[in-house]
Structure 1
Amino acid sequence: MTPKHDLKNPDHIAFGTAVANAQAAVAGLSDQYIGWVNADLKRLDAAISAAQGGTDADKLRAVYDVAHDIKGQGSTFGYLLVTDIGQLLCRYVDEAIRRKKVDVDIIAAHVAALRTVVDNRIQGQAGELGAEILDTLRSAAAKSFA
C-alpha cells in the first residue's frame, strides 16, 4: 500500500503538477480579469438602464444574471470583496423581484462599491473597510424593504 503523502508516488506528483499548472494559469489570467470585470460592469450598467423605472421581473433578472457573473469570477482572481458585493446585489435583486419593489439607489450603491474595489485593485476581504462596506450595503437593502 502506498502511503497517502508519498512524494515519490507518480500519482501524487502528477496531481501536484496539475495543481501548480492550474494556479499558474489563473495567475496569468489575473491581469486580464480587470478588463473582464470592467466589461461586465458595463453590461451591468446596460441591464440596470433597461430595468429603470419598473419592477419587470425579466429586466431585473438580467441585472441579477450579470451580478451573478461578476460574483462568480471575483474569488477566482483574489477579489473576494467583489464576490461578496455581487452576492449581496444578487440577493437584493431576488428580493426586489419577489416583493415587486426596487430602489435603484440601492443597486447603484452596490455598483459603486464594485467599481471602487475594481478601480483600486482591492484584493481579499479588505479588512475592516471591506466589512464596513458589506454592512452598509446590507443595512441599506434591508431599510429599502422596511
Structure 2
Amino acid sequence: MNDDNEESEMARRLARAEAAVADLAKSYVGWASADVEKCGGQLATARETVAEARAAAVQELYAVAHNIKGQGTSFGFPLMTRIGNSLCRLTRGKRPFSDNELNVVQSHLDALSLVLAQGIRGDGGALGEKLAQRLEAMVTEILGPEAAPESDPVR
C-alpha cells in the first residue's frame, strides 16, 4: 500500500470509530440513568443494614459510580465525570459509613440524576461549577483535606 492509500484507510477507520462513538452517545443518558438507579439500590441496601455491614453495599455502589465517572466526559457530560469522581472519593474506602455519609452519597446521586434529566452537557456552567464544588466540599469535610480529588485508583 502506498502512503495515500494508507492515509485513506486510516481516515475511513477513524470515521467508522467516530460514528460508533456517536451511536453510543445517543444511548448514554439511558444507560447512565440505569447506573444511577443501581447506585440508588445499593444505597438503599446500605441504609437497611447496620453500620458495620454497610461497607459491602457501598463498595458495590462504588463500582458502578466508577463507571459513571469514567464514561461521562467521553459522551459529552464532563459534569457527570466530576460528580462521579467526588462520589468515588467518598465511597472507595472499605469502612463503616455513617448515616450522614450516606446522605452525602444521596446528594451525589440526586445531582447525577439532575444532570441526566436536564441533559446538561459540558461542565454545566456556573451552576454546574457551584454544584460540583459543594459536593466536593462535603466529601472533603468527611474525608479531610488529605484525600486529594485526583487520587482515585482503578480497582
Q: TM over 0.5, yes or no?
A: yes
* 8 A contact 2:39–2:64 mirrored in 1: yes
TM-score by length of 1: 0.84
* Cα RMSD for the two superposed structures: 1.9
Q: Aligned equivalents of 1:27 and 1:9: distance in 2?
A: 27
2 CA distance for matches of 1:140 and 1:110?
Answer: 10
Consecutive unaligned residues of structure 1, counting only runs of 5 or more, are: 3-7
1:1-146 matches, within 5 Å, as: 9-52=4-47, 53-55=50-52, 56-95=54-93, 97-98=94-95, 100-102=96-98, 103-145=101-143
Secondary structure at 2:92 match in 1: helix
Deviation of residue 112 (structure 1)? Answer: 0.8
User: Could you list the per-position Cα deviations for residues 1-38 of structure 1 after superposition, in whole angstroms to 9, with x for gaps in the alignment?
Assistant: x9xxxxx6222222222111111111122221111111
Count of residue pairs brought into register by the alignment: 138
Whichever of the two has the greater Rg, that structure is: 1
Q: How many Å separate the matches in 2 of 1:79 and 1:128? A: 15
Q: How far has the Cα of 1:84 moved from its partner?
A: 1.1
CA distance in 1, matches of 2:97, 2:33: 28
1:45 shift after superposition: 0.9
Q: Which ranges in structure 2 are unaligned for 5 or more consecutive residues?
A: 145-155
